Amino acid sequence: MNGVRTSLLLLGLWFAISAFAQRPAVEPAAQKPASVRYAMLPLRNLSADATGATEIGTRLRDELGRRGASFVPADELDRVLLERRVRYTDSLAADDARAIRAATGASFGVAGVLFDFARGDEPRIAVGLRVIDLASGERVQSAFVALRGQDGRGLLGLGAVEDVNELEERALPSLFAAFGEHGGPLVRPSVAAAARARTQPADTAPEAERVAVLPFINRSTRSDAGASFSEILAHEWFRARGVRVVEASELRAALRRARIRTLQEMDAATMASIGELLGVRWFALGSVDRFGEEAVVRDQRHPEIEVSMRVVDARTGLVAASRSLRLRGDAY
């Protein structure tokens, strides 16, 4: 009897072992991507609206938070900015970026400019963002959107957007598209390749183009036209070509150290010394003569833009390229 009981126990144990061995292996739980931590600076507001920059910043923060990003608390970031005496929040100098990273643990900074924000029956939004790698102080992503309520107008003049909140719903996805599903910035392949190149020995790394965009001289009726065009040019250059653009704050700091008060003081020798200080060979500079002023054509009003630009080689002081353009809204 004991032998039968023992046999049954062993048989049951064999079945249990066989069943366990044949059970499908439990797949490990998918690891959740580490949360990206941002230092989100207040947008620099060049518009006439006092609260538009806060609204756009809040919408961006909410969307990135929904995707899993985290943020340095505002009071903590304000304390670091105050200690570093950061006056402008549209960009960061490299030293300030590294200081923010060390103090807050954030990996990236988000900065930008609200160029235009208008409510009413003909709303307008124009905003540019950049994402800065706080370890290096370099821009790794850039986004820009400009949209008017009239841009939704279709057949027979119908379909124009007449509410700024609806316009935000149409415009902001262009900014959100610069970030991945987990909240991190979508770094351009050209930027990543340049970062890898900079880790190579100096004699094997290819020379990466780095451009400093000086504030354009403003001859238009808009007080912020020179700064706005310089900012938009930097965004487009980065997005179209992957050019390494010197951050505006870093450029301003270099100009202060050199005691440059006006662009008229930028002779060839001064430009060469600042270029050496920033590690920059190319400077873009020029003037804005018209920036949104309207021209009347066949009883229709159309905005115009007129700009002259040249690219100067800081090593030689020679103009490497120049271009002038004048465009009117009815060209489109």
Q: Read off the pLDDT of residues 78-104 as tens digits, 9 standing for 90 and up.
A: 999 999 999 888 999 999 999 999 999
Q: Is the pLDDT higher at 166 or at 35?
A: 166
Of 187, 209, 233, which closes a domain? 187
Surface-to-core class of residue 93, CB atoms within 10 Å of its CB (0-12 exposed, 13-18 middle, 19+ buried): buried
Q: Which of 289, 169, 173 is nearest to 225 (CA)?
A: 289
Q: Using CA atoms, how far apart are residues 90 and 69, in angstroms rounded to an integer?
A: 21
Which pLDDT belongs to residue 158? 54
Residues 150 and 243 grouped into a single domain: no
Which pLDDT belongs to residue 42? 94
166, 168, 172, 173 alpha-carbon torsion, rounded to 10°: 0
User: Do the domain assignments include residue 181?
Assistant: yes
Which pLDDT belongs to residue 332? 58
Which pLDDT belongs to residue 140? 92
Which pLDDT belongs to residue 187? 82
H or E stretch covering 267: none
Which pLDDT belongs to residue 194? 52
Residues 79 and 120 grouped into a single domain: yes
Residues 215 and 251 grouped into a single domain: yes
User: Do the domain assignments include residue 297?
Assistant: yes
Residues 40 and 176 grouped into a single domain: yes
Q: Is the pLDDT higher at 201 or at 115?
A: 115
Looking at every residue in the chain, the average pLDDT score rounds to: 82
Token pair recorded at residue 198: 């900079």
Q: Is the pLDDT higher at 299 or at 192?
A: 299
Q: Read off the pLDDT of residues 226-273 as tens digits, 9 standing for 90 and up.
A: 988 998 898 888 887 778 889 888 888 888 888 776 666 678 888 888
User: Do the domain assignments include residue 136?
Assistant: yes
Token pair recorded at residue 133: 């790698």
* Total count of domains within the chain: 2
Residue 206's pLDDT band (cuts 50, 70, 90): very low
Residues 173 and 208 grouped into a single domain: no
Amino acid at 26: V
User: Do the domain assignments include residue 13?
Assistant: no
Mean pLDDT to the nearest integer, 300-308: 88
Q: Is pLDDT at 57 greater than 60 in this prediction?
A: yes
Residues 109 and 225 grouped into a single domain: no
Which pLDDT belongs to residue 265? 61
Of 152, 187, 222, which closes a domain? 187
Q: Which of 64-73, 159-168, 305-314 has the lowest mean pLDDT?
A: 159-168
Q: Is pLDDT at 298 greater than 80 in this prediction?
A: no
**CA 166: distance to chain centroid?**
23
Q: Read off the pLDDT of residues 160-187 as tens digits, 9 standing for 90 and up.
A: 888 899 999 999 999 999 999 999 999 8
Residues 112 and 250 grouped into a single domain: no
* CB-based contacts of 44, cutoff 8 Å, min separation 6: 53, 88, 89, 90, 111, 112, 113, 114
Q: Calculate what percentage of the chain has a pLDDT beyond 90.
A: 46
Which pLDDT belongs to residue 209? 73
Which pLDDT belongs to residue 31? 53
Mean pLDDT to the nearest integer, 105-124: 93
User: Do the domain assignments include residue 22?
Assistant: no
Residues 43 and 174 grouped into a single domain: yes
**Which residues partner with 142 through β-bridges?**
130
DSSP string, 132-155: EETTTTEEEEEEEEEEEGGGG--G
Residue spans of beta strands (DSSP E) within 25-107: 37-40, 44-45, 70-71
Residues 209 and 287 grouped into a single domain: yes
Residues 173 and 278 grouped into a single domain: no
DSSP string, 206-228: PPPPEEEEPPPEE-SS-TTHHHH
Q: Which of 203, 93, 191 is nearest to 142 (CA)?
A: 191
- End-to-end Cα spacing for the chain: 99
DSSP state of 70: E
Q: Using CA atoms, how far apart are residues 162 and 124, in angstroms rounded to an integer?
A: 10
Q: Is the pLDDT higher at 284 or at 3?
A: 284
Instruction: Quote the domain boundaries for residue 251.
Output: 200-332
Number of H helices, E strands in the chain: 10, 12
Residues 218 and 168 grouped into a single domain: no
Mean pLDDT to the nearest integer, 289-312: 87
User: Do the domain assignments include residue 210?
Assistant: yes
* pTM for this entry: 0.77
Q: Using CA atoms, how far apart are residues 320 and 332, in angstroms rounded to an integer?
A: 30
Residues 217 and 305 grouped into a single domain: yes
User: Do the domain assignments include residue 283?
Assistant: yes
The answer to whether the beta carbons of residues 128 and 135 sit under 8 Å apart is: no
Whichever domain contains 242, its CATH number is: 3.40.50.10610
Of 187, 210, 231, which closes a domain? 187
Which pLDDT belongs to residue 188? 66
User: Do the domain assignments include residue 24?
Assistant: no
The answer to whether the beta carbons of residues 69 and 83 sit under 8 Å apart is: no
